[in-house]
Amino acid sequence: MENPIRLTCKSVAEAVPEIASVLQQYPLSYGQGVETAIDEAAYLVSFVAGLPPDFNASHRQFLLDDSMREHMQTVLSKRIFSRTPLAYLLGETWLAGYKFYVNEYVLIPRSPIAFMIAQGFSPWLPRQQPIKRILDLCTGSGCLGILSAIQYPEAIVDITDIDHQALQVASRNIELHGLEKRINAVVSDVYAQLPSQQYDIIIANPPYVPVSGQSVLPSEFSHEPKHALFAGEDGLDIAKRIIFGASQFLDPQGVLILEVGQAAEDLQTSFPQHHFLWQELEYGGEGVCVLTRDECNNITE
């Protein structure tokens, strides 16, 4: 069948608004790492033209040839008619300034924890505290563990996921960032297969969407692995296991950084005796809390 998407743009400057306007003609959903049609258009153009994703004014006159237009038309057609997120079509995405490979076995990286890592978890961790060991649970593409290893060059980072295919993607990303010597990937059902160890920081962005939410999510999300999104009736099955097990794996001064998104209210309701502190997230997102080892120890069913 002939591709109904036809582009006429001749330069980067023309391509971004033309592609954005094509995207806007269809009921697409964003929010899997790219927030708007214009951002998505810029990302596609930069990828196809071989430019940096944050290309500047000097790149605007970059000329596009027929094969580049063809490539963009093909990607756009799949994006629009199969509702596949752009990151899966390109095989990569960017988070907090770093590139990550992705495929259908991993959630597209977008966790606001990435920006907390870049700020050294200020004010939760005093800067003078040496961070030696970090655990990233439910790592998916490995993005948060990798960003942690970059932020803390002295630290050893363990990353875990129940899905060995996700860990294959994580391993590719570890290689991409040259971190093979400091990041260990372990297949584990939360803590179950993890050797006994005490960590300064445990990071977790587990699945936290209630199963009932499946029917209302836009089609784009059906391309992500179900076990990366959904976790029981209230979305908190995995998050609760992470909290209950954390004290055994945290250093006495260590902290758990846990994302539960829109399930934050339900988490608070589940444990009324504990007052959760939800982070102000400068770059968007919601439902990230920080818990000390003692707090994790005191939160029980």
162 binds ligand SAM (CB under 6 A): yes
93 binds ligand SAM (CB under 6 A): no
109 binds ligand SAM (CB under 6 A): yes
Rounded-to-integer distance, Cα 269 and Cα 263, Å: 10
285 binds ligand SAM (CB under 6 A): no
By DSSP bridging, strand 199-204 and strand 288-292 are unpaired
Say how many Å lie between the first and final Cα of the chain, rounded: 57
Distant-in-sequence, close-in-space partners of 103: CB < 8 Å, separation ≥ 6: 88, 91, 169
64 binds ligand SAM (CB under 6 A): no
Closest CB to ligand SAM among residues 84, 103: 103
Rounded-to-integer distance, Cα 21 and Cα 157, Å: 43
Pick one of 158, 161, 200, 220: the residue that binds ligand SAM (CB under 6 A). Answer: 161
CA 184, 186, 191, 193 torsion-angle sign: negative
Distant-in-sequence, close-in-space partners of 289: CB < 8 Å, separation ≥ 6: 257, 258, 260, 264, 267, 276, 277, 278, 279
141 binds ligand SAM (CB under 6 A): yes
235 binds ligand SAM (CB under 6 A): no
76 binds ligand SAM (CB under 6 A): no
Stretch that binds ligand SAM, among 12-20, 75-83, 162-170, 212-220 (CB under 6 A): 162-170
In the complex, the smallest distance separating the C-beta of residue 294 from ligand SAM, rounded to whole angstroms, is: 24
Question: Quick check: helix, strand or coil at residue 178?
Answer: coil
107 binds ligand SAM (CB under 6 A): yes
Q: Which residue is nearest to ligand SAM (CB)?
A: 140
Site string for ligand SAM, 169-198 (x = CB under 6 A): --------------------xx--------
Closest CB to ligand SAM among residues 46, 139: 139
H/E stretch holding 21 reads helix 12-24
Rounded-to-integer distance, Cα 190 and Cα 242, Å: 7
Specify the DSSP class assigned to residue 278: B
Do the beta carbons of residue 71 and residue 44 sit within 8 Å?
no
138 binds ligand SAM (CB under 6 A): yes
In the complex, the smallest distance separating the C-beta of residue 132 from ligand SAM, rounded to whole angstroms, is: 21
Site string for ligand SAM, 16-55 (x = CB under 6 A): ----------------------------------------
Q: What type of residue is 265?
A: E
Binding residues for ligand SAM, rule: CB under 6 A, are: 106-107, 109, 111, 138-141, 143-144, 161-163, 166, 189-190, 205-207, 227-228, 238
